[in-house]
């Protein structure tokens, strides 16, 4: 297992650490819990950078990286919901959006469709959520308003993702159905072998 994937696995391991720190009754536990989130965020940035720089992008890493992000984010959101730091309506909106993206991606992946690779919109959304969590943890007065803004932005990026997905697979189907001049579908298939 390469270093980027090890960093991704570390992010999974930080989830129970976050839960333990957040649930503790020690002084300043909220700030320590946020520190765990920051470390998780840094590993997310670092593993992607190392994978691209040293050509260590793998299929396993491409699948585990967003899963680690979602696992940490869902855990944090749940902890804030249960303790009343954010409204249930905001939590429901976040889970509906994320569940739709995860289920949709998995469904179309197993149907052999091409999925849109990770891009700057997804990373930006994650960064904005981390900022929202920062504001909530430190009880900024505008935290909830900002969170709703991020939720709205995440739905916009989801619609863009759907548009890119449709365009990507439409182009793929067009290429697969193309027949060279003077040839047949069989000739086209043989040419690809």
One domain for residues 103 and 138: yes
More confident call, 70 vs 153? 153
Residue 90 and residue 59 share a domain: no
Q: Verify that 95 and 43 share a domain, yes or no.
A: no
Residue 104: Cβ within 10 Å count = 15
Task: Say whether both 90 and 172 belong to one domain.
Answer: yes
Q: Which domain holds residue 7?
A: 1-65
Q: 93-149: per-residue pLDDT in tens?
A: 998 988 887 787 777 767 667 666 666 777 788 889 989 999 999 889 999 999 999
Query: Is 45 contained in some domain?
Result: yes
Number of structural domains, the chain? Answer: 2
Helix, strand, coil share (%) of the chain residues, nearest 5: 80, 0, 20
Q: Name the 3-class secondary structure at 182.
A: coil
């Amino acid at each position: 297992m390469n270093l980027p994937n090890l960093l991704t696995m570390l992010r999974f391991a930080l989830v129970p650490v976050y839960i333990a720190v957040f649930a503790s009754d020690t002084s300043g536990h909220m700030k320590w819990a946020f520190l765990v989130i920051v470390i998780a965020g840094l590993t997310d940035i670092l593993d992607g950078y190392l994978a691209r720089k040293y050509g260590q992008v793998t299929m396993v890493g491409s699948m585990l990286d967003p899963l680690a992000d979602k696992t940490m984010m869902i855990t944090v959101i749940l902890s804030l919901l249960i303790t009343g730091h954010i409204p249930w309506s905001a939590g429901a909106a976040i889970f509906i959006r994320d569940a739709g993206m995860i289920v949709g991606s998995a469904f179309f992946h197993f149907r052999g469709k091409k999925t849109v690779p990770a891009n700057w919109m997804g990373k930006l959304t994650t960064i904005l959520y981390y900022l929202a969590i920062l504001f909530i943890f430190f009880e900024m007065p505008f935290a909830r308003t900002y969170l709703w803004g991020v939720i709205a932005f995440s739905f916009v990026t989801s619609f863009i993702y759907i548009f890119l997905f449709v365009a990507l697979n439409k182009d793929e189907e067009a290429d697969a159905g193309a027949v060279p001049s003077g040839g047949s579908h069989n000739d086209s298939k043989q040419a690809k072998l």
